[in-house]
């Protein structure tokens, strides 16, 4: 399935789009109801979100804590700026690794798209360096289940590297 798109825009933005077959009201609820958020905002297999505090109102705060039950974990805190049921959410968040990352301003739009929904999430980072750092450190949980694939990939690089020799540098 390649329903999702992920692209950078300008120096500081990152845009994710995804189509859902459910109507905007349901997709919006799944983004704001902590009981629903806990079911899907988890990253790779093996991660859970034992703490999901979410005050979905302008000025309301949220806190998500993830763990892989193997000593790995981190959390995100944030504040809601605007909420327009069921079409738009504006919020600010930062990751604690454990030091807080610079604020990420995120606008999420839910538009009717046929019988379903087109979600467009626009993240704006303070500057290009922060965006680069976020892409590198962000979604740290993305690593957990992917280490195997990374190892495989590096194995293939290594094979090619041997073919190439040190000619590159």
Partner 1 sequence: MYGLDAAFSALADPTRRAILARLAKGEATVNELAEPFEMTQPAISQHLKVLEDAGLIVRRVEGTKRPRRLSNTGIEAMDQWLAMLRKALETNYDRLDGVLEGMEKQEMEKHKKGKKR
Residue ranges in contact with partner 1 by CB under 8 A: 1, 3-4, 6, 16, 18, 20-22, 26-27, 29-30, 36, 39-45, 97, 128-130, 132-133, 135-143, 146, 149-151, 153-155, 157-158, 161-162, 168-169
Nearer to partner 1, 24 or 83 (CB): 24
Q: How far is the CB of 9 from partner 1 (least distance, A)?
A: 14
Apex 154 CA angle, 152 and 160, nearest 5 = 110
Nearer to partner 1, 85 or 142 (CB): 142
Q: How far is the CB of 59 from partner 1 (least distance, A)?
A: 26
Nearer to partner 1, 45 or 71 (CB): 45
Q: How far is the CB of 79 from partner 1 (least distance, A)?
A: 21
CA distances from 119 to 10, 34, 39, 82 (A): 20, 19, 18, 16
Cα-based torsion angle of the residue sequence 69, 93, 148, 162 in order, rounded to the nearest 10 degrees: -140
Counting every residue written for the chain, the total comes to 169
CA 136 from chain centre, in angstroms, equals 12
Q: How far is the CB of 78 from partner 1 (least distance, A)?
A: 17
Structure tokens at 95: 């990751």
* DSSP structural state of residue 146: T
Nearer to partner 1, 27 or 106 (CB): 27
CA distance 13 to 28: 22
Nearer to partner 1, 117 or 124 (CB): 117
């Amino acid at each position: 399935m390649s329903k999702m798109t992920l692209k950078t825009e300008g120096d500081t933005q990152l845009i994710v789009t995804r189509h859902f077959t459910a109507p905007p009201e349901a997709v919006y609820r799944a983004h704001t109801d902590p009981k629903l958020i806990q079911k899907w905002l988890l990253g790779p297999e093996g991660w859970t979100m034992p703490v999901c505090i979410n005050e979905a109102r302008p000025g309301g705060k949220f806190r998500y804590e993830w763990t892989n039950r193997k000593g790995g974990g981190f959390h995100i805190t944030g504040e809601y700026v605007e909420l327009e049921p069921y079409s738009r959410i504006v919020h600010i968040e930062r990751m604690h690794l454990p030091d807080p990352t610079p604020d990420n301003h995120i606008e999420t739009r839910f538009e009717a798209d046929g019988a379903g929904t087109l979600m467009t999430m626009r993240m704006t980072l303070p500057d290009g360096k922060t965006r680069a750092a976020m892409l590198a450190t962000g979604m740290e949980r993305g690593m957990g289940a992917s280490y195997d694939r990374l190892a495989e990939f590096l194995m293939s690089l290594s094979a090619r590297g041997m073919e190439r020799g040190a000619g590159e540098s």
